[in-house]
Chain A
């Protein structure tokens, strides 16, 4: 297991992950970061806002390798105005 730090860059503020957490690999750490990003966004949406400019920086302790997980990459917003045939009431 390798230790990874998930630093949160949240609306201009850096919230460092000082303890870190262990994951089997970088992919698992990134997956966790994506999940946490979605949780934060879901909380925001309940208050009526959605800030997609924030991100989580995943840093591998042993190598210093870092991967950025932008919040915008964790949400699928579809704005195409494509009415489905069965959308209207019967």
Chain B
């Protein structure tokens, strides 16, 4: 992980998302967590209005809320993640600064489409592709688990900040089907 990444990720159990406080940080995740461990499921608009807290990785300051971060134009990233066997909601707030890395958007096209408005910053497209594959597999796994139909043509589209399509991950392409 590059030093330029400034996310400070703190896990908040999804069930407590509405009332998250510092003590809900069962296991703080720093930016040193390998990308592979952060399984991007989808951008979670669910918690946009919630008063989640985050701690600056560098200053240790606690208490900046999502609303604060929006107000002062800090960079914010909100994802579902799975790490160490625990699932949770993670909020990352970075300082106001110019982006060191390009921004990518992962738009999910399934029965209910989800446009990724927040985007993620990654060093290059290859890393984003890997995350999108993990995300697509998780989505398919959940569909199967709940007996819902899986459309091979459903997909995650990766776009750049200007909305240009960079790559398409079809659900049918991320699984090795055997009979």
| A and B are interacting partners | yes
Residues of A within 8 A of B (CB): 34, 38-39, 41-43, 45-53, 72, 74-83, 86-90
CB atoms of B172 and A79 under 8 A apart: yes
CB atoms of B141 and A52 under 8 A apart: no
B142 within 8 A of A: yes
CB atoms of A75 and B175 under 8 A apart: no
CB atoms of A81 and B153 under 8 A apart: yes
| Interface range, B side | 20 to 34
Query: Can you sample 13 A-B contacts with CB below 8 Å?
Result: A38-B144, A38-B147, A39-B145, A45-B140, A48-B175, A49-B175, A50-B175, A50-B178, A76-B150, A78-B149, A87-B109, A88-B109, A89-B115
Contacts of B163 in A (CB 8 A): 89
In the complex, besides A47-B137, A78-B149, 17 extra interface pairs with C-beta distance below 8 angstroms are A34-B147, A38-B145, A45-B141, A45-B175, A48-B174, A49-B175, A50-B176, A52-B177, A72-B179, A74-B147, A75-B150, A76-B147, A77-B149, A86-B113, A87-B109, A89-B157, A90-B115
B151 within 8 A of A: yes
CB atoms of B176 and A78 under 8 A apart: no
Given contacts A53-B178, A87-B113, contact A42 B152 (CB under 8 A): no
Interface residues of B in 133-159 (CB under 8 A from A): 133, 137-138, 140-142, 144-153, 157, 159
Contacts of B151 in A (CB 8 A): 78-80
Contacts of B144 in A (CB 8 A): 38, 41-42, 45, 74-75
Contacts of B56 in A (CB 8 A): none
CB atoms of B142 and A50 under 8 A apart: no
B107 within 8 A of A: yes
Residue among A45, A47, A79 with the highest chain B CB neighbour number at 10 A? A45
